[in-house]
Structure 1
Amino acid sequence: MEIGIDSFAAARQTNGTALNGADAIGQLLARIEHADQVGLDVFGIGEHHRVEYLDSATAVILAAAAARTKQIRLTSAVTVLSAADPVRVFQEFATLDLVSQGRAEMVVGRGSSIEAFPLFGFDLDDYDALFAEKLELLLAIRDKERVHWSGKFRPALTGQGIYPRPLQPQLPVWLGVGGTPQSFVRAGMLGLPLMVAIIGGDTHRFRPLIDLYRNAGKQAGYSPEQLPVGLHSLGYVAETTEQALEEFYPGYAQTFSSRARERGGAPVTQGQFMAQTGPLGALLVGNPEEVAAKIMRHSEALGGISRVTFQMDVATLPHQKLMEAIELLGTRVAPLIR
């Protein structure tokens, strides 16, 4: 099982202070470099177009990280493909693959944050149709240097060459999903690796959806080895569970209460948070031994997972705390799981 981290390049700290953008990016690159040094397998950068995050140009951050790392794989988490041009997305990540000497990946999705749609002039009524068409084109470009293709939302391609080509024979493309059954089935039918974002609820309840994915893949002729499942979870590791809970909760509550207000919901309570950190809850917060054990329980409950990535940005923790958590993930959690 691969262990990694996903980041949204947060530009605020728990006390609400906004970081200087250059300082925040510099700290993020230091964290990616540290993750590489302690032996973590993958680092992902999300895509948002909001004031609190600096990740709107994902491939640029990953390319800067590629120049400072040696082994760790570098991926998006996720690329909002519905609001992007698949040609440019492929070119950016193929270039990243060259810069990183074959360590680039991407996770593509429809986007749970919808600010990219009005920003780039797309209609939310076309939410799924946009993604289906653009995914088809992206995979066609990945498979062939010259593509003949036509669709509804983009001008046709009539055999133009798409360059550069990546170093890897086939650039890895994962499909990022939330809780929509059709998305799980689509990933299986296409034989794409699945990255499931589980940010709340009981993790084991996603098993029927993952079974949909595996069954769809099997019916499409793919082997189990061609259908890996990854888990994107909110989490944080400290020396003791008490410390981890105390440090993670304030920023977590602040972030999700703010999102709830945007959508007309209620603020987060500490009781809800504690329930999510329990044996069945989605949050991976605790000491290294407890977190490793919980990951293994999640893997068993979901029929086996191949990758787990920790999302710590939602707690807006200080840089030093994140560096310490990365150290624990690499030197204690990952070895226990392996």
Structure 2
Amino acid sequence: MIELGISTFLETTSHPKTGAAVSHAERLRNAVEEIVLADQVGLDVYGIGEHHRADYAASAPAVVLAAAASRTSRIRLSSAVTVLSSDDPVRVYQAFSTVDALSNGRAEIMAGRGSFIESFPLFGQSLDDYEELFEEKLELLLAIRESEKVTWRGGHRPAIDNRGVYPRSVQEPLPVWIASGGSPESAVRAGTLGLPIVFAIIGGMPERFAPLVNLYKQAAAKAGHDPSKLQIATHSHGFIADTTEAAADLFFPYNQAQMNTIGRERRWPHYDRDAFDSARSLRGALYVGDPEYVAEKIVLLYKNLGITRFFHHVDIGSMPHRDVLRSIELLGTKVAPIVRKELEKMEGKA
């Protein structure tokens, strides 16, 4: 009824107290260990978000996912997200169809425009073409996954004239999700195309995304898709420990440092403990607490939005790796069974 998993940007920001930072190399190796553990404890998906800055190590998610493919057996391996606007859809498909082959059909692409814009100048793309780039490249990516031979023309990439794109994915078609920060346009686009959607909910109350979910389903129905068969996911920050107090006290300094670092770039208000405690309340967007409390929040999210997948974004800053692993373990061994049991009860009453 619901899939539970981990999302990460492979952050390497400085420790809020010591100023030390995990190296890119160590963070990448840690990620593979996290994916292996997530697979072992029964989680359903692990997603890595593409970034191109010094405080993240995730410039090539497909490579990291490929490294974990042969060491795992069932967990799905996804980008979270691929910044499709500044990439080449041919190479994106080839990279993830390769992961799909190595994992025997467990790869996914989560395509988005990106809330960070550093990849645009890096790869020679203009922000003036922000919307057009995504629409055009999504069109090409979907054409590639549907047909071995592709003929296509657009305005921002050389044309393709009946060329094959290889290797072909094990899954037909290779899953492509649309990632959205909450824009109505993204919800309508995903629904019209009949593609699954992921909403990034990092502030406010998740229940406020209900109108976007409805808009998504309405657009799907209007385009002739069955809304009941569509997948809806959310991504939110959080941390799990043996007690709610321990989870909050351990997570807060890292969360505050990260929020204020990005906040200075985006002119957000200062993030303090009051804001943090409000966000981790039952109706808030932070999933921080003991397993029972986090499970309760996920069940509430299911009731409010009808999600089919939940991404728990765990690593913030340079959190100790052992604490990240423990949070992943608790999500799989403690939270997931509670959530599934509660949803089974709800389905039984329906």
TM-score category (smaller protein): over 0.9
Determine if contact 1:75/1:106 at 8 Å carries over to the other structure: yes
| Partner Cα distance (1:33, 1:294) in 2 | 26
Moved more, 17-26 or 140-149: 17-26
Q: Secondary structure at the match of 1:253?
A: helix
The residue number in structure 2 matching 1:238 is 241
The residue number in structure 1 matching 2:325 is 323
Map 1:132-281 onto structure 2 (within 5 A).
132-281=135-284
The residue number in structure 1 matching 2:339 is 337
Q: TM-score, normalised by structure 2?
A: 0.94
What per-residue deviation string (whole Å, max 9, x for no partner) do you get for residues 83-107 of structure 1?
Answer: 0000000000001100111110010
| Partner Cα distance (1:10, 1:27) in 2 | 11
| Partner Cα distance (1:21, 1:179) in 2 | 30
Shift of 1:22: 2.3
Moved more, 260-269 or 48-57: 260-269
Shift of 1:11: 2.2
Shift of 1:7: 1.2
| Partner Cα distance (1:214, 1:305) in 2 | 12
Determine if contact 1:36/1:70 at 8 Å carries over to the other structure: yes
Q: Give, as a single letter, the amino acid of the residue that structure 2 aligns with 1:130.
A: L
The residue number in structure 2 matching 1:4 is 5
| Partner Cα distance (1:30, 1:217) in 2 | 38
Q: Give, as a single letter, the amino acid of the residue that structure 1 aligns with 2:213.
A: I
Q: Give, as a single letter, the amino acid of the residue that structure 2 aligns with 1:2.
A: E
Q: Give, as a single letter, the amino acid of the residue that structure 1 aligns with 2:11.
A: A
Q: Secondary structure at the match of 1:159?
A: strand
The residue number in structure 2 matching 1:112 is 115
Q: Give, as a single letter, the amino acid of the residue that structure 1 aligns with 2:196.
A: P
Q: TM-score, normalised by structure 1?
A: 0.98
Shift of 1:313: 2.1
Equivalent position to 1:65, from 65, 68, 72: 68
Q: Secondary structure at the match of 1:280?
A: coil
Moved more, 73-82 or 275-284: 275-284
Structure 1 residue runs of 4+, over 4 Å off?
none
Q: Give, as a single letter, the amino acid of the residue that structure 2 aligns with 1:162.
A: V
The residue number in structure 1 matching 2:24 is 21
What per-residue deviation string (whole Å, max 9, x for no partner) do you get for residues 162-195 of structure 1?
Answer: 1110111211100000121101000000000011
Determine if contact 2:24/2:56 at 8 Å carries over to the other structure: no
| Partner Cα distance (1:265, 1:334) in 2 | 34
Q: Secondary structure at the match of 2:56?
A: coil
The residue number in structure 1 matching 2:39 is 36
Shift of 1:13: 5.3
What per-residue deviation string (whole Å, max 9, x for no partner) do you get for residues 294-327 of structure 1?
Answer: 111111111x110001111225311000111111
Q: Give, as a single letter, the amino acid of the residue that structure 1 aligns with 2:45.
A: V
What per-residue deviation string (whole Å, max 9, x for no partner) do you get for residues 52-86 of structure 1?
Answer: 11100110000001121111100000000000000
What per-residue deviation string (whole Å, max 9, x for no partner) do you get for residues 235-279 of structure 1?
Answer: 111110000100111000001101111223332111111111111
Structure 2 gaps of 5+ residues are 341-350
**For the aligned residues, what is the CA RMSD?**
1.0
The alignment covers a number of residue pairs equal to 337
